[in-house]
Each structure stands twice: as structure tokens, then as C-alpha cells.
């Protein structure tokens, strides 16, 4: 099956999402395959990444891609459920998380990816995200998974 992406990437890595580390037992993913897609940034010798989920489409009918954000610039964490916050506004990316290749080439970046799931409370609600680091770079990012991509079950 051919998937249509809104942009071409430099390189990608297919992952079996349900086999990624730390997926909580009470979470069921509504997809089994995802792709880590690496793009050449506008800044020389830099890259940025997205998580593509071919089983889902975006509003333009392309494969759904979720951009990775920088963990070090994570918005302030709110754990009070009574606090009124616009969750979508807090997750919006007004910038692109570009990171230097350092001594990597685009091909070696793929081999250095380590990722795991984390289910955490953000802005007063529980949210599943994919955390990702790329060894040999400063990349330490996360991508929040939208609600329709998974469901929680009672344990």
C-alpha cells in the first residue's frame, strides 16, 4: 500500500509501535506501525523529526505526522485538574525543533534512535507521548499522541 506524505523526508525508520518500550498495560494503540521521519532543516547541518502514523490521515488526507518537540523547552507542567487551560494551545508548535547532526550523517541518525512511551499528566489530563533520543546528538524530544490513536482500558 502506498502512503501519501505532505513532505518528502531524507530518511525514515519503520517501528512496530506496540513493541516500543514502556507502553503501559492499560493502553491499546489503534495502530501497529509508525515511522520516524527525519527531515533536513533549513539551518545547515541540522535536522528535525516527526512521527508518522500511516493508519491515520490528517485533515488534508495525507499520512498523519506528529512533530517532535524539545523536552528541554517543555511548557510548564500543570497537575491540577481544576485549572482551566487550553490543552491544544499548550501543545502547539510555533517553532521547529532543529538539532545539529554533530558527527552523524542522515543514515547514521536512524541507527542511533532510542524511543519509549510515557503516559503522563500534562495540563490536568493524562496523555500518551513517544519520547525519543538520538545518541550522538542533542536530540531529546517528544510527540504527543492524539486521543484517537489509542484508548485506555481499566487494569
Give the separation between CA 25 and CA 122, rounded to whole angstroms.
Answer: 20
pLDDT in tens, 3-52: 789 899 999 999 999 999 999 999 999 999 999 999 999 999 999 999 99
DSSP secondary-structure letter at 21?
B
CA distance 34 to 17: 6
pLDDT at 2: 63
- Under the banding of pLDDT at 50, 70 and 90, the label for residue 108 is very high
pLDDT of res. 88 = 40
Residue 84 has pLDDT above 60, yes or no: no
Cα dihedral 134, 37, 24, 56, rounded to 10, equals 170
**Whole-number Cα distances in Å, 47 to 27, 34, 87, 99, 101:** 31, 19, 27, 5, 7
Structure confidence at residue 102 (pLDDT): 94
* Per-domain residue ranges of the chain: 11-148
* Mean pLDDT across 121-140: 93
The mean pLDDT of the chain is 86
CA pair distance 128, 122, nearest whole angstrom:
10
Please tell me the distance from the alpha carbon of residue 66 to that of residue 37, in angstroms, as a whole number. Answer: 10
* pLDDT of 92 over the 80 cut: no
Note whether 30 and 148 are within 8 A (CB). Answer: yes
pLDDT higher than threshold 60 for residue 72: yes
Rounded to the nearest 10°, the torsion over CA 53, 56, 57, 62 is 40
Amino acid at each position: 500500500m502506498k502512503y501519501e506524505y505532505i513532505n518528502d523526508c531524507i530518511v525514515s525508520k519503520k517501528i512496530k509501535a506496540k513493541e516500543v518500550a514502556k507502553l503501559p498495560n492499560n493502553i491499546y494503540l489503534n495502530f501497529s506501525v509508525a515511522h520516524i521521519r527525519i527531515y533536513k532543516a533549513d539551518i545547515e547541518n541540522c535536522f528535525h523529526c516527526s512521527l508518522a502514523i500511516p493508519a491515520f490521515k490528517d485533515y488534508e488526507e495525507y499520512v498523519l505526522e506528529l512533530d517532535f518537540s524539545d523536552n528541554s523547552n517543555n511548557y510548564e507542567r500543570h497537575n491540577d485538574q481544576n485549572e482551566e487551560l487550553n490543552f491544544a494551545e499548550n501543545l502547539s508548535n510555533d517553532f521547529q525543533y532543529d538539532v545539529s547532526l554533530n558527527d552523524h550523517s542522515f543514515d547514521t541518525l536512524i541507527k542511533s534512535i532510542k524511543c519509549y512511551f510515557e503516559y503522563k499528566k500534562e495540563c490536568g489530563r493524562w496523555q500518551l507521548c513517544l519520547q525519543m533520543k538520538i545518541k550522538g546528538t542533542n536530540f531529546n524530544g517528544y510527540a504527543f499522541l492524539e486521543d484517537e490513536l489509542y484508548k485506555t482500558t481499566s487494569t
